[in-house]
Amino acid sequence: MTIRALRFVYLVAAVFAAVAPAVSAEAQPKVTLVFSAGPTGGTWTPMAAATADVIKRKYPELDVLVEPGAALVNMEKMRNDKTDLAWSMTTVLADARAGTNSWKGKQTDKPLFVANYYPNVWQLATPAAADIRKVADLKGKAVALPPRGNTSLSEGWELLLRVHGIKLDDLGTKSYGSLTENARRSGTGRRWPWAGRPPSPPHSCSTSVPR
């Protein structure tokens, strides 16, 4: 979320209270805030909906519209004044504000950190029978990756591989999909990678993954 937008929530509530203290909440005009969440089917959308519900209960004169997004997309939307609230990751936020990495030439000071909802832990998992003991062992191997355009791919996989001296092109056959799809693919010898966005750690898929 952004402190710019959060301050807007408090500012709107204060203005209505000062200008029309005798007017009921039902009579006050609604002010709509846009909350850019995550991809459809992911955990960021219900989390945004729950947060929006808290805001609306606290400030009945506000309405919060939750729409799909993603960490990188949300910062771009914030930069172009297309959203008031948004989820993102600390690395993406830092790059956007500094104008570094994928944000070179697009620096913006509009998004500001407000709250940390949870540590975004990522795990790299492989079938127990796979002969993979370190990241470098993935070179030439078939790998199941996050969906194309997913922040976990650009801000997770690519950075991790770079640290270990390899890149995406060094991997073998690549397939792109969700955690569930990747778990299924592990039964065909592919390595399913990132999990951990609550509440879906790798062990939640263990019953469907051949051991």
pLDDT of 79 above 80: yes
Q: 100 by DSSP, 3-state: which?
A: coil
pLDDT of 182 above 50: yes
Mind listing the domains of the chain with CATH numbers? 3-103 (3.40.190.10), 135-201 (3.40.190.10)
What's the pLDDT score for residue 54? 92
Distance in angstroms (rounded) separating the CA atoms of residues 158 and 150: 12
Q: Is the model more confident about 77 or about 13?
A: 77
Q: What is the pLDDT of residues 127-144, one digit of tens each?
A: 777 788 888 998 998 888
pLDDT of 194 above 80: no
Rounded to two decimals, the pTM is: 0.66
Distance in angstroms (rounded) separating the CA atoms of residues 107 and 207: 45
What's the pLDDT score for residue 203? 52
Torsion of CA 46, 155, 94, 54, to 10 degrees: 0
pLDDT of 170 above 90: yes
Q: Is the model more confident about 64 or about 6?
A: 64
Residues 70-86, mean pLDDT to the nearest whole number: 91
Decide if 74 contacts 67 (C-beta within 8 A): no
**Can you tell me which residue has the tokens 């951990």?**
196
Decide if 187 contacts 210 (C-beta within 8 A): yes
